Amino acid sequence: MKNRRWYDDDAAVRLAVTLLEQAKEDVKVFCSNYIIQKAKNLGIRNEDDINTSFNFVWQRKTDSLSSFHNALEYMKKMDLTSRHEVALNILKYLKEHEINDLK
């Protein structure tokens, strides 16, 4: 069976995305910001970046959801090695700080 989602090909990336989907909002925002910053450091641009395309005042939950969406779009554009490295760093962070505090 062929994997359907872009992150299914790498077990670490798949696990990181799945755990982030279940994480508390503050952890999701922190990790999303980390992903976006790493991608920008690699020279990746996201033309669909919701946070820079619009200047709305959003509620905190909406901010975290758009931040998470943007982070996944940036991560999707990374090369496989960078994506895997970022996923491992997220998993390490979740293990050290958050794994027992999922929603």
> Are the CB atoms for 97 and 30 separated by under 8 Å?
no
What are the tens digits of pLDDT across the range 5-62? Answer: 899 999 999 999 999 999 988 899 999 999 999 999 999 987 765 454 444 444 444 4
Tell me, yes or no, if the pTM score tops 0.75.
yes
Q: What pLDDT, on a 0 to 100 scale, did the predictor assign at position 100?
A: 54
Other beta carbons less than 10 A from residue 67's beta carbon: 22
What angle, 0 to 180 degrees and rounded to 10, lies between the N-to-C axes of helices 60-77 and 11-22? 170
Q: Can you tell me the distance from the alpha carbon of 50 to that of 57, in angstroms, rounded to the nearest whole number?
A: 12
Report d(CA 2, CA 17) in Å as an integer.
19
Alpha-carbon distance of 23 to 86, in angstroms, equals: 17
